[in-house]
Chains A and B, each alone.
Chain A
């Protein structure tokens, strides 16, 4: 597609429910990043994929968070047993590079705003 797309754009869920957030990167982009952005803060790194391989998940806050990218394109970030502190904007970005490169431009999607009640 023309840009990175994310769905849903907004998600309201009750505490304890599982949610799945989807990211569709720019066609041909092999690297994919997930970030989380709390209100009034900048985005913070969660995890990174190179093709289908999850090469860095050091930013995932706990084991309720997981991500996959089974065919090296669309990625899903799953949060199990959601808590109110999970409420945030979740952003996805992709790059052309087939490895993490300093200086490479990351292209961001519009984000998914998650609200856990």
Chain B
């Protein structure tokens, strides 16, 4: 079946550090891939997405590249800020098995210290 595995947190970084949150997936067909973010006290927001292999999604300094050969969609940011502290969820939706429904990883909590 379709599934998403992301690195467990919590992740604690100092301001301006480099961030990587790993995400790998299992899916039938050709899924679209997403990163959602949940800031404290708020709902889930789309951070970025990629709909086909080799696409790069980017937003707010975050990037992730859809790698079909490694079934990965790792989230990166070159210099994190305190305001990036949040829980990050990797997700997919796939043609087969769960069409249109998002399948999420467990989430990775990021804390950025000044």
Contact yes or no, B42 A110, CB < 8 A:
yes
* Interface residue A65 (Cβ < 8 Å from any Cβ of B): no
- CA of A31 to CA of B99, assembled, Å: 13
* Interface residue B64 (Cβ < 8 Å from any Cβ of A): no
* Interface residue B98 (Cβ < 8 Å from any Cβ of A): yes
* Interface residue B80 (Cβ < 8 Å from any Cβ of A): no
A-side binding surface: helix, strand, loop or mixed?
loop
> Chain B residues near A105 (CB, 8 Å)?
46, 49
* Interface residue A100 (Cβ < 8 Å from any Cβ of B): yes
Chain A, 55-112, CB within 8 A of any chain B CB: 56, 59, 91, 93, 99-111
- CA of A107 to CA of B30, assembled, Å: 22
> Chain A residues near B103 (CB, 8 Å)?
45
Contact yes or no, A103 B106, CB < 8 A:
no
- CA of A103 to CA of B95, assembled, Å: 10
Flag B21-40 by CB within 8 Å of A: 1 or 0 each.
Answer: 00000000011100010000
Tally of A-B residue pairs with Cβ under 8 A?
65
> Chain A residues near B101 (CB, 8 Å)?
33, 45, 48, 56, 59, 100
> Chain B residues near A108 (CB, 8 Å)?
36, 43-45
A26, chain B: closest CB distance, angstroms: 12
Contact yes or no, A103 B51, CB < 8 A:
yes
Contact yes or no, B100 A48, CB < 8 A:
yes
> Chain B residues near A35 (CB, 8 Å)?
102
B11-19, B70-78, B86-94 - interface stretch:
B86-94
Residues in chain A within 8 A of chain B (CB atoms)? 4, 31, 33, 35, 40-45, 48, 56, 59, 91, 93, 99-111
Additional A-B contact list (6), CB under 8 Å, known A44-B104, A45-B98, A102-B99: A42-B89, A42-B107, A59-B101, A102-B100, A108-B45, A110-B42
Q: Which 6 A-B pairs have the closest CB atoms?
A: A100-B100, A42-B104, A103-B32, A108-B44, A103-B51, A110-B43
Can you show 16 pairs from A to B with CB atoms below 8 A apart?
A40-B106, A41-B106, A42-B4, A43-B44, A45-B98, A45-B102, A45-B103, A48-B100, A56-B101, A93-B102, A99-B100, A100-B99, A102-B99, A105-B49, A108-B36, A108-B43
